[in-house]
């Protein structure tokens, strides 16, 4: 079976009703995103950080996967599909995709602030000050914040290197190291980039840019891939 690797970003979930980062002007309640998504923010005002992620988690319990997420599931009929997502939502999983690597963490999980291996599933939207891990320390969102290392990046690189086809969807490709993954893909591998505002990507051979919305174009593109490459 050929390996089809997919890298997704916020645009993948836009048609489910989740706003992208750059669309919201990078602002939330007059805070810049960096002011609520960084270790410094957690030091300075943890309650503001918790509230930011609580609102996002609350919304996640209200939205559904879109036609784009569902189309990617169909690819599993004929490909070994590996999804690498920058998104912290669980819409790929809820659509039915089997292999999803969350580079930037997961909204529905919380983690200990003394032991990063203690990670907990959340079945409710609110994480509060005073919610603690089994060692008694405050729980934080299980999110990779600005300025923090990306622990799963090496694993993502290994996956990207095995791609026979590489598909990039709904990402501005400005946040590293995720944006650099496409450069680990073999030169002769066909690559597709679906994003209505895609910028040209220089120095990446065999790349077809499709300036369309994911939910609109993916059902057709998936059909084409099942017929052409499988």
DSSP state of 103: T
Per-residue tokens: 135: 């060692």
Q: Of 74, 80, 79, which is closest to residue 229 (Cα–Cα)?
A: 79
- Positions 151 through 170 that interact with ligand OAD (CB under 6 A): 170
Helices (H), the chain: 39-44, 46-60, 67-74, 91-95, 153-161, 214-228
Q: Does 195 bind ligand OAD (CB under 6 A)?
A: yes
Of 7-15, 40-48, 55-63, 94-102, which part binds ligand OAD (CB under 6 A)? Answer: 7-15
Annotation says 104 is catalytic: yes
One of 5, 6, 7, 9 touching ligand OAD (CB under 6 A): 9
Of 115-123, 127-135, 210-218, 222-230, which part binds ligand OAD (CB under 6 A)? Answer: 210-218
- The one catalytic residue in 92, 104, 124, 202 is 104
Task: Please give the Cα distance from 195 to 52 (Å, whole number).
Answer: 27
Please report how close the Cβ of residue 55 comes to ligand OAD at its closest, in angstroms.
14
One of 3, 20, 113, 204 touching ligand OAD (CB under 6 A): 20
Task: Please give the Cα distance from 225 to 227 (Å, whole number).
Answer: 5
Task: Please give the Cα distance from 143 to 33 (Å, whole number).
Answer: 13
Give the interface with ligand OAD as residue ranges (CB under 6 A).
9-11, 14-15, 20-22, 37, 86, 104, 144, 170-172, 174-175, 194-197, 213-215
């Amino acid at each position: 079976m050929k390996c089809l690797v997919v890298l997704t970003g916020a645009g993948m979930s836009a048609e489910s009703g989740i706003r992208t980062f750059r669309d919201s002007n990078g602002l939330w309640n007059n805070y810049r995103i960096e002011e609520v998504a960084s270790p410094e923010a957690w030091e300075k005002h943890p309650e503001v950080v918790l509230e930011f992620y609580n609102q996002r988690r609350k919304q996640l319990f209200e939205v559904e996967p879109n036609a784009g997420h569902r189309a990617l599931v169909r690819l599993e009929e004929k490909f070994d599909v590996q999804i690498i997502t920058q998104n912290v939502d669980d819409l790929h999983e809820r659509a039915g995709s089997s292999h999803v690597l969350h580079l930037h963490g997961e909204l529905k999980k919380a983690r200990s602030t003394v032991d990063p291996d203690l990670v907990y599933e959340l079945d409710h939207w609110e994480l509060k000050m005073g919610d603690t891990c089994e060692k008694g320390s405050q729980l934080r969102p299980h999110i990779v914040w600005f300025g923090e290392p990306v622990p799963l990046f090496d694993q993502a690189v290994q996956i990207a290197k095995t791609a026979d086809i590489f598909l990039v969807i709904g990402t501005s490709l400005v946040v590293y190291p995720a944006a650099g993954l496409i450069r680990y893909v073999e030169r002769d591998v066909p690559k597709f980039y679906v994003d209505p505002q895609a910028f040209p990507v220089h120095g990446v051979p065999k790349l077809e840019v499709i300036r369309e919305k994911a939910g609109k174009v993916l059902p057709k593109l998936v059909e084409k891939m099942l017929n052409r490459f499988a």
